[in-house]
Chains A and B, each alone.
Chain A
Amino acid sequence: MSDSHNNGGKFLVGIFDDDDVVLKAVKEVKEAGVRIHEVYTPFPIHGLDVALGHPRTKLGIAAFMFGLSGTLTALSLTAYTEKFDWPMIVGGKDSYSFPVYIPVIFELTVLFCALGMVGTFIVSNGLGPSVKPLMFDLRTTDNKFAMAIDLSKNGLGEGRIEQILKESGAAEVNVKQF
């Protein structure tokens, strides 16, 4: 998905009617030696990422790092304000009594993680302001499944790829120029 906002080019777009068909087609098209740019679906399909050969997502690591930054921020914030900058005794406790700050630490961890992941989502999907995402077929937001193939990255001819797509169950094949 990261290269969906590239510099354009000429694409062949196979339109499929059914999620099972598109999942099967992905395997067949790949076996025929065609590099698939991306598949667009109205809903997540189980096993599609595996079939496309996507590497395991690194979102978990990103989330962990964002969370950790929140934890560290909260730890230093509470330590700095309550221990060094302006020590206060509340409820007869030591000015830095750790259990009291666990909710703050927890909340900031969640907040940083959530905001960071929203940012990650926007960046990795190319959804920034004034960025125009590639839209291969508007119907993929409704009931159709589109398989986009970048012609510049495939050695096979246009006619041959169209034939492969049709054979693997595409209802129609369109050319899309960006």
Chain B
Amino acid sequence: MASVHAIPSLEQEYEFTGESKRRLLIGIGAGVALVAIGAFLLASGVGEHSHEVVQGQGHSTGHEGEHGYKWTTRLWANLWLNGVYFTGISVIGMFFISYNYLAQAGWSSVFKRIPEAMPAFLPVTAVVILVTFFVAGHDLFHWTHEGLYDPKSEDYDPIIAGKHGFLNTPFYIGRLIFYFVAWYGLWRLLRNFSLREDLEGGTEYYDKSIKFGVVFLVVFAVTSSTSAWDFVMSIDSHWFSTMFGWYTLASWHVAGLAVMTLTVVTLRERGYLQAVNENHLHDLGKFMFAFSIFWTYVWFAQFMLIYYANLPEETIYYRERFSGYGGIYKAPFFITLFLNFVFPFLVLMTRDAKRVTNILKIACWGIIVGHYFDFYTNIMPGTVGEHGGFGPIEFGMILIFACGFMWSMSAQLAKANLYPKNHPMIEEAIHHDI
């Protein structure tokens, strides 16, 4: 019933206040301090096991390379982990706008500026990821070692040598640059269309956005998979899974939706975005619910085939996480499953839960934390192995990235009217009722 909702004005500017900036700076500062403390503790060897932890498998998969382990690896691994996670969340903003344009969806246009603000963080993660690769590529990625590909070398590894056509440094760096340029460039295009639509109106920019949104979806269909291989799967160079692209996309997608929903709810509580009613929140809740189950489906499809077939070269991946390295990854492994499936499944199941902002917020936080642990479980065993853990470095790095992401998003939101006021579907979106 459209008449039930009072229609608020569509003219609203988001103000990125000095107070918020100060808080975010304090957050970043605290993060840097935590990372420094963690790094100092690691460098001085506190908390490091004096003896080698007996590995569950009893054999090394050679992840640590021939140089031995350096404590800085954990620092770089954390940079990489957060870089990958926040790259995903950022690009999902673009993904969301694009498929909503393609579906000509009306309801989402009222809060469209929120996903639209997310990809602005991509340049930062691009720099983080490229710098990390240049500096610490050898520590994180076993496949970057030249000896693996030389049949005369004692390190020669025929399996990895067989992947040399794809996993070689020039092609790899080229791909990374292509991802970020393509994703960010197409987002800039759509963002500019949207801003000009605000000024000029009409359907011209809407039609153009559909067209370039489709271009992005075609690009992302391929690059979401290949980037998942590059960012995450290539760490465990021997292992591969044909589900991995979908699996990472599902993880990114639901985490991005949770960030989006959390932002919408928070802005609403602060008096912004009053045109977003509980029907929009209900739909966002359904999105999170559905894609949590989708993530579980892909997770399980990958797990069960490997479990059933029981091939040693495949099961090693789960062995490392389940019982390898002294069992330190068993907790994150199950936290992932609980927070990403059981928790949202039970919390978001009923209709009322999706319409009550407090429950929605709890579910969002569960999903955001859960998918961090998803990437943690995927990245850490292959990079730091038995030297992993969860300490000040991990907390600090999350804080830095989260505050940086919020800063970039708030700055973007402040640059434009909070509603795309000339969007052709905005009227429909305001009257959204389910």
On A, residues with C-beta under 8 Å from B are 46-47, 50-51, 60, 91-93, 99-100, 102-103
Is A46's CB under 8 angstroms from B304's CB? Answer: no
Docked pose: A102 CA to B307 CA in angstroms? 12
CB distance from B287 to the nearest CB of A (A): 19
Is A91's CB under 8 angstroms from B1's CB? Answer: no
Q: Which residue of A lies closest to B3 (CB)?
A: A47
Is B1's CB under 8 angstroms from A50's CB? Answer: yes
Is B433's CB under 8 angstroms from A46's CB? Answer: yes
Q: Which of B301-326 contact A (CB under 8 A)?
A: 303-304, 307-310
Is A102's CB under 8 angstroms from B433's CB? Answer: no
Q: Supply 11 further A-B pairs (C-beta < 8 A) apart from A91-B310, A99-B300, A99-B303.
A: A47-B1, A47-B433, A60-B350, A60-B351, A91-B308, A91-B309, A99-B307, A100-B304, A102-B300, A102-B304, A103-B304
Count contacts between A and B, CB distance < 8 Å. 24
Counting from the closest, the 7 A-B pairs by CB-CB distance are A47-B1, A46-B433, A99-B307, A91-B310, A99-B304, A50-B1, A91-B308
Residues in chain A near residue B433, CB distance under 8 A: 46-47
Q: Which of B1, B308, B350, B351 is close to A100, meaning CB atoms less than 8 Å apart?
A: B308
Docked pose: A20 CA to B434 CA in angstroms? 16
Docked pose: A87 CA to B316 CA in angstroms? 28
Contact-residue size bin, chain B (C-beta under 8 Å from the other chain): 10 to 19
User: Assuming the A-B contacts A60-B350, A60-B351, A99-B303, are A46 and B1 also in contact, with contact meaning beta carbons closer than 8 angstroms in the complex?
Assistant: yes
Residues in chain B near residue A100, CB distance under 8 A: 304, 307-308
On B, residues with C-beta under 8 Å from A are 1, 300, 303-304, 307-310, 350-351, 433-434
Docked pose: A100 CA to B309 CA in angstroms? 11
Q: Which residue of A lies closest to B304 (CB)?
A: A99
Residues in chain B near residue A102, CB distance under 8 A: 300, 304
Residues in chain B near residue A93, CB distance under 8 A: 310
CB distance from A37 to the nearest CB of B (A): 22
Residues in chain B near residue A50, CB distance under 8 A: 1
CB distance from A53 to the nearest CB of B (A): 13
Docked pose: A100 CA to B307 CA in angstroms? 8
Docked pose: A93 CA to B306 CA in angstroms? 13
Q: Which residue of A lies closest to B309 (CB)?
A: A91
Residues in chain A near residue B304, CB distance under 8 A: 99-100, 102-103
Between A and B, 24 residue pairs with Cβ closer than 8 Å are: A46-B1, A46-B433, A46-B434, A47-B1, A47-B433, A50-B1, A51-B1, A60-B350, A60-B351, A91-B308, A91-B309, A91-B310, A92-B310, A93-B310, A99-B300, A99-B303, A99-B304, A99-B307, A100-B304, A100-B307, A100-B308, A102-B300, A102-B304, A103-B304
Residues in chain A near residue B307, CB distance under 8 A: 99-100
Docked pose: A62 CA to B366 CA in angstroms? 28
Docked pose: A103 CA to B309 CA in angstroms? 15
Residues in chain A near residue B1, CB distance under 8 A: 46-47, 50-51
Docked pose: A50 CA to B310 CA in angstroms? 55
Q: Which residue of A lies closest to B300 (CB)?
A: A102
Q: Which residue of A lies closest to B433 (CB)?
A: A46
Docked pose: A18 CA to B303 CA in angstroms? 54
Docked pose: A46 CA to B1 CA in angstroms? 7
CB distance from A83 to the nearest CB of B (A): 18
Docked pose: A99 CA to B306 CA in angstroms? 11
CB distance from A54 to the nearest CB of B (A): 14
Q: Which residue of B lies closest to A48 (CB)?
A: B1
Docked pose: A50 CA to B434 CA in angstroms? 11
CB distance from B428 to the nearest CB of A (A): 12
